[in-house]
Chain A
Amino acid sequence: MADDYLIEVDDCIKRYGGVVALKGVSLRVRKGSVHGLLGENGAGKSTLVKIIAGIVQATSGTMRFNGEEIVDADVKAMEEKGVFLVTQEPMIVEPMTVADNLMLGRWPARSGFVRDRHMMALATSFLEEANLDPRRLASTLSVVEKRKLNILRALHSGGKLIILDEPTTALTMADKHQLFTFMKQLRAQSVSFLFISHYNEEILEICDEVSVLRDGQMIGQGQVVSHLDSSALSEMVIGRDVHLFKRVTDEAKGDVVWTLRDVRASGLSVDRLDIRKGEIIGFAGLPGSGAKELGRAIYGLMPSARGFLDESGVAHALPRDPAEALRTGIAFLSEDRLRDGIIAIQSIAENMTLSSLPAVSRFGWVSRSAERQLVEKFWRLFAVKAASHAAPLGSLSGGNQQKVLLSRLVATEPRLVILNEPTRGIDVGVKEEVHRLVDDLSHRGVSVIIITSDIEEMLRIVDRVALFVDGRISAIEPAHGLTKEDVFEMAYSASDRSVSASHQPLH
């Protein structure tokens, strides 16, 4: 029956100049259901949901909301109908309070003056269950809290369809769980969700139905999730089952090449860590435990950090800045692409060669042919999908942006690589490619540090796991034989121990 559907999109086409992002797509989302949207990088998922939310206009096609035909609606019009898009980056005005953000643009006002006290009262009653203090400054919120606030804003404004574009990136397991519980509560109140993710297990856990886009076309529309499993999902997404990569740990290990000594910074205290040539080591730990911080310190992104990073027995102080780190043969992948990864307005080629300018230039002059060669090499290696080398990087899909950043990093021919959330926003197929590439790097003698909140992924590709608790390395274990649960237990129990230890009265 037609009125079971909250939103119905038909024959939707979207052109970006010469690129056809959507080639006649149809989508139906039932009332009170969580509808998954899957697809490779660049398949058109974000484009489709932006059209539904009124952020971009379709080139052609029809759309109905609650059975009513929608024509030329913009964001505001769609929000009034109850459609809200929560983008991957939470949209929050940081210097304002939680209450301000909750009612952003719809503040209760009388003749132009915001009725502050009234607003606080409203917000307090609304946020009671959500466990958020309306008076808090939004800038003090964590990533989940911000995302939650975005969802709450949608609800508060009468949201009936909430679209979440890759909402789980950067969330820890606990955060994710919290988010899903929240979604399930809302579903029970007959709110619908359109949920984009690259993680099969998330789709299987939270979604009722799933649709799959491939190359701008709908491959499977409204498939019932309870009939599917992970490999069936992968097969729909990339046309074949993914063979999960598993690193074969080399027993005859290389020599220790890198030695971290006496690293000290605020909230970080690591006495010693040896990393072998061609070894892949994972840094695991709860947020703030020091895993990310140590990665940044090694790359010179924590100027206040003191300590040594010896290479082959030669003592070196930690690099002062990234430029020095790169010269020492260290490369780094940022966890936050948009913030300090890509230069969106610049071309793919310029972005790719940015860290290896010395290699493509002579006496300060950029050699065009050297540059073209380098770009073409990585373009092929990573199978970048884009119109041309000159396309602005910001116009690529998230996964393709990540490929360009990885190219930038590998192009520097590093000897030690620090990868922060390397597969963030990457589709299942490319994820395995990235794993293979990292494995490949290690076989060529590059030492690799991987920092990721996806512990399952980490365990498949690293040799050893260093577990961080309260700024220290509390354990280093071979990955072989470890399970996700082991790692969590270690992280939590160790932090519990140290918490209770810190409560001990001083003698």
Chain B
Amino acid sequence: MNTKTSVMPTVAVAPGAVAKNAGASPSVQLLLKYVVWIWLVGLVIVFGLLNKFFFTTSNLQNILTQATVLGLLGLAASLPLLVGEIDLSIAGNMGISSAIGALAILQLHMPTFLGVIVGVGAATLIGFFNGLCITRLRMVSLIETLGMMIILQGGLLAITQGATITDFTDAYTWVGQTTVGGWPVMPLVLFVGFIGMAVLLRRTVFGRKLYATGGNAAAAHVAGIRVNKVKIVAFTLSGFIAGIAGYFLASWQMAITSDQGEGFLLYSIAAPIIGGVSVFGGRGDTWGILGGVLLLTVIHVGLAVVNVPSFYVDMIGGFLIFIAVAVDAIRVGMGGTR
């Protein structure tokens, strides 16, 4: 047993991690930093060789459309991760908030746009509440949001009474169904979302505060950053994005099931982590998150396209994710930074 390293975590985690790093040369580091993209390109080629259909425009459109909801959720998951917390309730939040919005339209006869706002507003409030619990009440985010996740999933089942909500207004499903010149509009949202996030993280004061809080909350506090406020905003924004994702999912599927969104939970957390966002906070960038999202989507779609029998899909998909994470771990060990 290596006693020295096992004692390290008391204080020296960060410098220790840096110390290991610097062995690799700058070009190797750059390569490692975007290893998720290399992995992505490799898989695309493999799937394409296995089935020509994979390279068609319609499949590309399919991948991008599928990636939209996961992408937004990946962004929502990243914000708490960047400040060193975790939010397990975003997928549940996505489901219930879309149901609230849809029911406001269908049963309270609200105008469509108002109903959507109500839904997204509910999601935002849920995120804000999570933030309050974690900062003011000092609840542990892993457990608090786990509890919230169960409440939200149960809540969705309760308000839908187990039934699937359908019969949306045309205005409601417009975004999910419309194509312009043969191209669906959904992926546009994906790109807007990622560009917005990139700008937020890299160019704004708030982005700086996020990274500082996640990097060393005690130091950030002494440096004059209101760490709790930053965390609350991160959770609130995360809830807001989950709400948007919920609306898009419903608009695209034209249905809200009583377990809407549940399947997304693990993937939405896995995507940013595969893309290099650290669960300890303070590390990760938008390119990485996008890479992680596309990688997971390509695995998902690719396995369907090459006709892997459905009994094996989950298992093989899990393996591929496993390998991606292992590669990422090697990357961190060899000196990639965010």
A-to-B contact residues, CB < 8 Å: 16-19, 50, 53, 55-56, 74-76, 79, 85, 87, 89, 91-94, 104-106, 301, 321-323, 325-326, 332, 334, 338-346, 350, 353-355, 357-358, 361, 364-366, 392, 394-395, 408, 412
What separation, in Å, do the CA atoms of A270 and B22 have in the docked complex? 49
The one of B3, B14, B25, B220 that contacts A394, using a Cβ cutoff of 8 Å = B14
Q: How many A-B residue pairs have CB under 8 A?
A: 147
Inter-chain contact B282/A345, CB cutoff 8 Å: yes
Contacts of A345 on B, CB cut-off 8 Å? 14, 17-18, 215, 282-283, 337-338
Inter-chain contact B11/A338, CB cutoff 8 Å: yes
In the complex, residue of chain B having the shortest beta-carbon distance to the beta carbon of A153: B3
Which of B71-79, B91-99, B200-208, B239-247 participates in binding chain A? B200-208
In the complex, residue of chain B having the shortest beta-carbon distance to the beta carbon of A368: B203
What separation, in Å, do the CA atoms of A339 and B220 have in the docked complex? 11
Q: Is B111 engaged at the interface, CB distance under 8 Å to the other chain?
A: no
Inter-chain contact A344/B14, CB cutoff 8 Å: yes
Inter-chain contact A56/B212, CB cutoff 8 Å: no
What separation, in Å, do the CA atoms of A56 and B5 have in the docked complex? 12
Q: Can you list 10 A-B contacts with CB-CB less than 8 angstroms, sorted by A residue number?
A: A16-B23, A55-B4, A76-B1, A79-B3, A332-B222, A343-B211, A354-B223, A364-B205, A394-B15, A395-B22
Inter-chain contact B224/A344, CB cutoff 8 Å: no
How many whole Å from B278's CB to the nearest CB in chain A?
A: 8
Contacts of A79 on B, CB cut-off 8 Å? 3-4
Contacts of A394 on B, CB cut-off 8 Å? 14-15, 17-19
The one of B3, B24, B212, B218 that contacts A17, using a Cβ cutoff of 8 Å = B24
The one of A94, A106, A361 that contacts B10, using a Cβ cutoff of 8 Å = A94
Q: How large is the interface on B (under 10, 10 to 19, 20 to 34, 35 or more residues)?
A: 35 or more
Inter-chain contact A17/B22, CB cutoff 8 Å: yes
Contacts of B21 on A, CB cut-off 8 Å? 395
Given contacts A87-B12, A322-B224, contact A342 B5 (CB under 8 A): no
Within 8 A of A (CB), among B211-229: 211-212, 215-216, 218-226
Inter-chain contact B205/A357, CB cutoff 8 Å: yes
The one of B11, B222, B337 that contacts A89, using a Cβ cutoff of 8 Å = B11
In the complex, residue of chain B having the shortest beta-carbon distance to the beta carbon of A87: B12
The one of B1, B8, B216 that contacts A340, using a Cβ cutoff of 8 Å = B216
Contacts of B42 on A, CB cut-off 8 Å? none
Query: Scoring B residues 19 to 43 as 1 if CB is less than 8 Å from chain A, else 0, what string do you get?
Result: 1011111100000000000000000
Inter-chain contact B211/A346, CB cutoff 8 Å: yes
Q: A342-B219, A364-B204 are in contact. List 10 more A-B contacts (CB 8 A).
A: A322-B223, A343-B282, A344-B15, A344-B18, A344-B215, A345-B338, A354-B220, A365-B205, A366-B203, A395-B18
What separation, in Å, do the CA atoms of A354 and B2 have in the docked complex? 36
Query: Scoring B residues 312 to 333 as 1 if CB is less than 8 Å from chain A, else 0, what string do you get?
Result: 0000000000000000000000
Closest 6 CB pairs of A and B: A105-B3, A344-B14, A340-B218, A394-B18, A343-B215, A16-B22
Q: Is B137 engaged at the interface, CB distance under 8 Å to the other chain?
A: no
Q: Is B161 engaged at the interface, CB distance under 8 Å to the other chain?
A: no
How many whole Å from B281's CB to the nearest CB in chain A?
A: 9
What separation, in Å, do the CA atoms of A16 and B212 have in the docked complex? 25
Contacts of B108 on A, CB cut-off 8 Å? none
Most chain B CB within a 10 A radius of its CB, from A340, A344, A345: A345
The one of B12, B22, B203, B224 that contacts A325, using a Cβ cutoff of 8 Å = B224
